[in-house]
Amino acid sequence: MQILNKTYIWLRLLSILPMLLNGQNFNTDESKVPGFDLPDLERTADGSKISTATEWETIQRPEILKLFEKEVYGKAPMEEIALETEERLLDPNAFQGKATIREVTFTFTNKDKNCRAVLLLILPNGNRVSPVFLGYNFNGNHTILPSTAISLPETWVLNSPQIGVADHAATAVSRGSKYSRWPVLNLLERGYGLATMYYGDIDPDFDDGFKNGIHSLFSNSDGLKADDWGSLATWGWGLSRIMDYLETDEAVDPERVAVIGHSRLGKAALWAGAQDNRFAMIISNDSGCGGAALSKRRFGETVAAINTQFPHWFNGNFKKYNDQEDMMPFDQHQLLALMAPRPLYVASAQNDDWADPKGEFLALKNASPVYALYDKLTVISEEQPDVNHPLIAGKVGYHIRTGDHDITPYDWEQFMNFADTHFGLKN
């Protein structure tokens, strides 16, 4: 019991580490949340009321999308760049014949520069076409499974002593080390495929003035304007390029691709889902500030904290909201509403104060009136559901589970149940 208590205390300390490192005042006391007004999703800038799905799609949605592009994530350049893909079969009989594993190398080229990114595809054998979960991974495709056939990223990776990474270089020691985050066998047994890519292949996750990764191929890489894209937008852009590829893959059902992401990669998944309607389902896991959580609550990570620690994630304009959340003419419930009417699942973790679980639920709840324009069955409960009591209300789903900031088999179980409902599989 004593050991358990010690472990618990350590885990709690670890979960607030980002806040301590940040050296800022942060609030995790519900009674100190300031009063705030959320922009009304059904009122246009000139005050007229939106009351149909068509009005939402033609008047309000494009305005809100533009607002997030201009004020938060930034605009992807329109410049066309060349892309070549090359496939490599790694194992046609993985998991005792249950799956085929392939790698697809994407080479993006502009003039004399190029950027390479590798997609790992694990698809169930026996399906004519498979529904697929598509999401980036944090540490490299080789961390998903122990297989020695999977290539190591050649780009900068996050240092992580627990998986043997120092000097920002991937190493074979990490093979399979993140399997707990990717329950591949379970996915395959339930009929799903997995498509994943190391996010740093698209843009290495450090502030280098936008010189490397996909940024380096575009002419604005030597000086970004205030509304040009930050790293989250490049990661979102990359998900759409993967989707372009999945549409051409005969083993994938392009109508049933769920885009998923944990934490910063959840923010990227949401921005990808907002911009690209081909993602048939969007799943945010513990995405927090700049993701599913309302910023105006100033609970856990604030806009100033995220812009200070990760200045490269958002565009220049977003910095003007540091300590000025009340001045924001938008909040994240509007981002979530951009997913409608596609199924959207938001997941939180009980100890993840930094990501503001309640703020994630409230954003979803406040997005639901837009879902209701399409479908009266999407009525979300007034109160945040109890811990470990997942809620599926029509097109939206939510849970808060016990534990820390992470993506766990429990989370995946709920995502698969939700996908079964909307993708027509049994559960």
Residues at the interface with ligand GTR (CB under 6 A): 18, 263-264, 288-289, 301, 306, 309
Cα gap 20→23, rounded to integer Å: 5
Other residues' Cβ atoms within 10 Å of the Cβ of residue 425: 15
* Residue whose pair of structure tokens reads 């698969």 in the numeric block: 416
Cα gap 427→418, rounded to integer Å: 9
Q: Which is nearer to ligand GTR, 264 or 422 (CB)?
A: 264
Cα gap 96→271, rounded to integer Å: 37
Q: How far is the CB of 47 from ligand GTR (least distance, A)?
A: 34
What is the token pair recorded at 220? 């604005």
Q: Which is nearer to ligand GTR, 260 or 289 (CB)?
A: 289
Q: Which is nearer to ligand GTR, 200 or 394 (CB)?
A: 200
- Give the N- to C-terminal CA distance of the chain in Å, as an integer: 37
Q: How far is the CB of 381 from ligand GTR (least distance, A)?
A: 26
Task: Say which DSSP state 358 is in.
Answer: H
Task: Say which DSSP state 117 is in.
Answer: E
Active site residue 263: yes
Please check whether residue 296 is in contact with residue 331, taking contact to mean a CB–CB distance below 8 angstroms.
yes
Q: Which is nearer to ligand GTR, 130 or 263 (CB)?
A: 263
Cα gap 131→281, rounded to integer Å: 11
Q: How far is the CB of 276 from ligand GTR (least distance, A)?
A: 21
Please check whether residue 279 is in contact with residue 258, taking contact to mean a CB–CB distance below 8 angstroms.
yes
Q: Which is nearer to ligand GTR, 221 or 287 (CB)?
A: 287
Q: Which is nearer to ligand GTR, 228 or 352 (CB)?
A: 352
Cα gap 218→214, rounded to integer Å: 8
Whether residue 341 is preceded by a cis peptide bond, meaning omega within 30 degrees of 0, is yes
Active site residue 130: no
What is the token pair recorded at 197? 């890519």
Q: How far is the CB of 266 from ligand GTR (least distance, A)?
A: 8
In 357-413, at which residue ranges do the beta strands (DSSP E only) sit?
391-393, 396-401
391-393 sheet: strands from edge to edge = 82-93, 99-110, 113-124, 193-198, 130-137, 252-262, 281-285, 344-349, 396-401, 391-393
Q: How far is the CB of 211 from ligand GTR (least distance, A)?
A: 22
Q: Which is nearer to ligand GTR, 18 or 385 (CB)?
A: 18
* CA distances to 54, 139, 212, 267, 379 from 396, in Å: 20, 30, 37, 17, 9
Using DSSP bridges, classify how beta strands 130-137 and 252-262 pair: parallel, antiparallel or unpaired: parallel
Q: Which is nearer to ligand GTR, 264 or 365 (CB)?
A: 264
Q: How far is the CB of 102 from ligand GTR (least distance, A)?
A: 28
Q: How far is the CB of 353 from ligand GTR (least distance, A)?
A: 12
**Which residue among 142, 262, 405, 422 is the active-site one?**
405
Q: How far is the CB of 257 from ligand GTR (least distance, A)?
A: 22
* Residue whose pair of structure tokens reads 């949401």 in the numeric block: 270
**Which residue among 15, 130, 174, 263 is the active-site one?**
263
Please name every residue paired with 107 in a beta bridge, in sequence order, or none if there are none.
84, 116
The CA-CA-CA angle for residues 366, 407, 256, to 5°, reads: 70
Rg value, the chain, Cα: 21
Instruction: Provide the annotated active-site residues.
Output: 263, 405
